Structure 1
Amino acid sequence: MCQCDNSEAVSGPCCPSSLTDEMWEIIQPLLPVRDLRKGGGVRKYGDRLVLDSIFYVLRSGCQWRMLPRDLMPWDAAHRWFTTWRRNGTWDRVHDELRRRVRIGAGRDPEPSAAVIDAQSIKTSEGGEARGFDAGKRTTGRKRHVIVDTMGLLLVVAVTSASVQDRAGGRAVLARLAAGFRTVSLVWADGGYANSVDSRLLSWARDTLNIVVEIVKRTDDVKGFKVLPRRWVVERSFGWLVRNRRLARDYERLTATSEAMIKVAMIRLMLVRLAGQPSRWSHESHRKTARTKTVEDHIAV
């Protein structure tokens, strides 16, 4: 539990997952403003506390009902998470932050190339779209994502794990073409096409005007090898599963799973834009403790 009522002075956010002041200054103008002229009273919980509560669930992987009492009631936090999913707030904030990160890296706001891949993930019991991936021997769901060359999320679709990569690829490529007309090249692995079935490639080229280029493995090379372009999306999957809520799919709805992935990317981009360290643990404290232990050992 994260508590700030200790006797010692606490600097910064009380939870490692909470927003810092720099991160809050970036995201606050992007959140919807409530118009009191349309009725309704003053909100009891501010947006910053809402985000801190949602980020706590994301990073810790706890159940909504297990939110610490010094945050906000779980039902209110879940209600705001769902409201922002339905009214498109998560999408708008995510897309704007991605543009800012790209501009800060000296890139154009909109990408021209992307990388596609899928990740099978286990689920808890129940929920919609739950199946078995025979190739990965995983019962659960599959995350079909397209990222830019920096690894930032462009499109995501969560399906049953039994959905083939080529079928899921059609869905996310169609979303990509609708939302990003600047993208004309997409790199993919061999699971999206082979010598027998290359209909996905021709469909993308003729219908969407997108060239899907297959990056294949070399049969002569044994063991692990980093493949050009494909490592970018694999790193993005690694970023996602560092959040314990995403290490396994606990959501009952696929739309909720997609929203939680975007929330994870929102927090990652906020950390970058605010110039915060990527680790959310107290690394500096542990380093100081290790140094002190070594000094005490030398003194003895």
Structure 2
Amino acid sequence: MWAVLEPLMPVRDLRKGGRPRVYSDRLVLDSIFYVLRSGGAWRLMPHDLAPADAAHRWFTAWRRDGTWDRIHDALRRRVRVAAGREPEPTAAILDAQSIKSSEGGEARGFDMGKRTSGRKRHLVVDTMGLILVVIVTSASVNDRPGGRRILQHLAQTFRAIALVWADGGYANSIDSTLLSWANDKLGIVLQIVKRTDDVKGFKVLPRRWAVERTFGWLVRNRRLARDYERLTANSEAMIKVAMIRLMTIRLAGQAVRWSNAIDREAARRIDAERLITV
């Protein structure tokens, strides 16, 4: 994994002087990945990793200077190219996930629909499930206002996106203002993929399974099974760190095991698409 990440890490300018670094970038990354995967508190860091204050300080510094964003975007382009796709996508999937948060912190609310007190993760992913844009808000933010905000960010960042799939929570037969706004203001066609009323239990829906699988990837990291961050900016950064780890594992050639129904179905559909293109 380090061989993939090392060229993407910030280059240190030794001419600026100051005290030399005590902990290497690799050790700091291992420490951050430990917190991500274990879900433990920063202060419970094992002694063979970087101290908690140093690891958290660099996590925050790399968030502020855009290092996480640069690494995440570079890895996403590499994963897409390795899969035979164009570096930048032209279609995406939009969805949101309400998740419980710990006590305190900013932007906490109650989602009446999911009966969840905490925050809401708004994601836009490409057709491979790789994150394009992530925004964390209070759980009380409705899907339509949250969708308007994240779609505007998507249009500014990815100008090639012309089609976005979403679920019925973003529009219905009574209120379709979000669809018309996205088409008129952003030039994006927002297509709703609805679930049929006669289907009970789990069902993989067309296109929407990609973003649902991404939510499954995220919550496998115990730090993301619940929102423990006091700042929403740190929550967004931790989500990108989780995707950085996942994409690095892929590029390093490590095997991936499908452990649940949606993963197995996603793998089957991806294999079927490859056979069609061949």
Alignment TM-score, normalising by the size of structure 2: 0.91
State the AA in 1 paired with 2:128.
M
Identify the residue that residue 266 of structure 2 maps to in structure 1. none
Identify the residue that residue 198 of structure 1 maps to in structure 2. 176
Identify the residue that residue 243 of structure 1 maps to in structure 2. 221
Q: Output the CA distance in 2 between the equivalents of 1:178 and 1:108.
A: 19
Q: Output the CA distance in 1 between the equivalents of 2:195 and 2:48.
A: 51
Q: Output the CA distance in 2 between the equivalents of 1:223 and 1:44.
A: 53
Identify the residue that residue 10 of structure 1 maps to in structure 2. none
Structure 1 unaligned residues grouped into runs of 5+: 1-22, 280-300
Identify the residue that residue 105 of structure 1 maps to in structure 2. 83
Q: Output the CA distance in 1 between the equivalents of 2:197 and 2:141.
A: 27
Residue 159 of structure 1: SS of its match in structure 2?
strand
CA drift of 1:277 comes to 2.6
Residue 186 of structure 1: SS of its match in structure 2?
strand
Q: Does 1:144 pair with 2:149?
A: no
CA deviation map 1:85-127 (0-9, x unaligned): 0000000000000000000000000000000000000000000
State the AA in 2 paired with 1:58.
L
CA drift of 1:278 comes to 3.2
Identify the residue that residue 20 of structure 1 maps to in structure 2. none
Q: Of 191, 200, 204, which aligns to 1:226?
A: 204
Identify the residue that residue 9 of structure 2 maps to in structure 1. 31
Write the mapping of 1:96-135 to structure 2, written as runs, cut at 5 A: 96-135=74-113
Write the mapping of 1:1-300 to structure 2, written as runs, cut at 5 A: 23-278=1-256
CA drift of 1:41 comes to 3.0
State the AA in 2 paired with 1:180.
F
Residue 12 of structure 2: SS of its match in structure 1?
coil
Identify the residue that residue 293 of structure 1 maps to in structure 2. none
Q: Output the CA distance in 1 between the equivalents of 2:19 and 2:255.
A: 38
The percent identity for this pair of structures is 77
State the AA in 2 paired with 1:134.
M
Q: Output the CA distance in 2 between the equivalents of 1:58 and 1:224.
A: 28
CA deviation map 1:196-234 (0-9, x unaligned): 111111110001100000001122333322110011100
Residue 109 of structure 1: SS of its match in structure 2?
coil
Structure 2 unaligned residues grouped into runs of 5+: 258-278
Q: Output the CA distance in 1 between the equivalents of 2:200 and 2:41.
A: 42
CA drift of 1:276 comes to 1.1
Identify the residue that residue 291 of structure 1 maps to in structure 2. none
CA deviation map 1:133-157 (0-9, x unaligned): 0000000000000000000000000
Identify the residue that residue 294 of structure 1 maps to in structure 2. none
CA deviation map 1:169-220 (0-9, x unaligned): 0111011101101110000000000111111111100011000000011223
Q: CA RMSD in A?
A: 0.8
Aligned length: 257
